[in-house]
Structure 1
């Protein structure tokens, strides 16, 4: 009976791990193939919005 639970735990860990890995790999492939010039879209939008803001904290 203990062997069953060990096998179940190993199989569960592999299924969850492989699923998570496939998700991140497919996301990376999708960004590289279909993202093209949109990779920096959100970064550029943030820079435009934050242009002219005052720095808060620290000495600068």
Structure 2
């Protein structure tokens, strides 16, 4: 009976871990395959939008 619970715990842990990692793995594959030329697109858009803003906070 103890063996059954150990097997159940191992299988449950594997299912939870694989489910948690599946999203990260598929996101990485999608970015590598379909986002090749778009990697700096959002950074450039953000920089363009923030151009001319006043710097606030911090000591320089």
Displacement of 1:8 in angstroms is 3.4
TM-score, L = length of structure 2:
0.73
**1:58 counterpart residue number:** 58
Distance (whole Å) between structure 2 residues aligned to residue 57 and residue 13 of structure 1 = 45
Within 5 Å, give how 1:10-49 maps onto structure 2.
Answer: 10-49=10-49
Counting matched residue pairs gives: 60
CA distance in 2, matches of 1:9, 1:41: 44
1:14-42, CA deviations, whole angstroms, 9 ceiling, x for partnerless residues?
Answer: 11111222221111111011101111221
Higher helix share: 1
Structure 2: where are the runs of 5+ without partners?
Answer: none
Aligned-residue CA RMSD (Å): 1.8
